Amino acid sequence: MPQTLANDRLLRALRRQPVDRTPVWLMRQAGRYLPEYRATRARAGSFLAMAKNPELACEVTLQPLRRFPLDAAILFSDILTVPDAMGLGLYFAEGEGPKFERPIRDEADVARLAVPDMETELGYVMDAVRVIRRELDGSVPLIGFSGSPWTLACYMVEGGGSDNYSKIKAMAFNRPELLHRLLGVVTESVIAYLAAQRAAGAQALQVFDTWGGVLSPTLYREFSLPYLQRIARELERGEGEDRTPLILFGKGNAPYLEVLAATGTDAVGVDWLVDLAEAARRTGGKVALQGNLDPATLYGSPEAIASEAARVLDSYAEGNGGSREGHVFNLGHGMSPDMSPEHVAALVEAVHRHSAR
């Protein structure tokens, strides 16, 4: 039975139903910009130790909600838990970001991959979802997430972050069938992962196609889009008021808004390089839209933040026939560690004030 939520603005907006004010949450709302996050991380010893401990993952998930009247919680975890569970050996080299001990290089590496067991190999994620749901106690919905197949494959083939995606793009040109085989097993894992988070209690689901925008249109349509379409089509998510909405977020996805809206997803998340009025016109009410304040706006003054937030809200309404329905306010990408909590408070307050019906 779906639990009645004290604050269901996010779910209503994702269903394009009327709300009293536009819901807001922020990608990377839990993180190093909060002193209490840094304290919990120091106690845990590392980011991964924290993410793999359901009680600590719950603690840092709730930290931003104690400070700001956000309309959703997002599971504290990482997109790279899935390739880690597929045997690649995730680690974080100090100051260098995520890396894999055993990246995917050839045929044999791809052949060894299998869909991980969600309740054992990724049981710590499902336990975190259950603990967070219990602690949220019906206050706001919990968003679960996964990386997109393309974005996960980037890390799996490059072995970590990359400036030019040389290895995976070489694979796309030289061994397209091998890359499709890799993307196929990753897609099955992503669908199983999202379904397991939903079964554990996640009330909305977001796919991060963070690196889709590094592809030419031809490669995007071959290596990212078809797998997003498959997720939107195959992921079982219920009907009506019981439906668990799916948000497809993509950095650099502006050229593909029409085709993304036609995938069957419930919502599309966009970065700040597209005008929301244009995005709303081009998607024509088929989906909800999430976004899209430039995260760097948080380096501006509280007054600048408020006026930019108002501009984003009004831009959406302008493209949506004058209505704010179907908009979830967010940044166009994640927060950074050097952002100020006071400015986040100013942003959340401004969104709620300016969008109050």
Kindly list the residues in this chain that would bind ligand CP3 in the complex (CB under 6 A): 27-32, 41, 47, 74, 76, 78-80, 97-98, 145, 161, 208, 210, 333-334
Q: According to the annotation, is 123 in a ligand binding site?
A: no
> C-beta of 185: minimal distance to ligand CP3 in Å?
20
Identify which of residues 294 and 314 has a Cβ nearer to ligand CP3 in the complex: 294
- Residue 219 in tokens: 């490669």
Query: Half-sphere exposure (CA, 13 Å, Cβ side) for 22?
Result: 29
Residue 343 among known ligand-binding residues: no
Q: Is 277 exposed, middle or buried (0-12, 13-18, 19+ CB in 10 A)?
A: middle
Residue nearest to ligand CP3 (CB): 210
| 29 annotated ligand-binding residue | yes
Residues 6+ apart with CB under 8 A from 265: 228, 232, 246, 247, 248, 287
Q: How far apart are CA 108 and CA 106, in angstroms?
A: 6
Helix or strand run (H / E) with residue 57: helix 54-67
**Structural contact between residues 350 and 43, judged by C-beta atoms closer than 8 angstroms:** no
- Choice between 208 and 354, CB closer to ligand CP3: 208
Please list the active-site residues.
28, 32, 41, 78, 155
CB-CB contact of 92 with 85 (8 Å): no
**124/323 with CB nearer ligand CP3:** 124
CB of 94 to ligand CP3, least distance (A): 9
Structure tokens given for 194: 């999202």
**220 marked as binding residue:** no
For the CB of residue 225, give the shortest distance to ligand CP3 in the complex, in Å.
17
Least distance in Å: CB of 337 to ligand CP3? Answer: 7
The verdict on whether residue 198 carries a ligand-binding annotation is: no
Name the token pair of 287: 């989906």
Nearer to ligand CP3, 44 or 317 (CB): 44
Question: Which residue ranges make up the annotated binding site for substrate?
Answer: 28-32, 78, 155, 210, 333
Question: Which residue ranges make up the annotated binding site?
Answer: 28-32, 78, 155, 210, 333
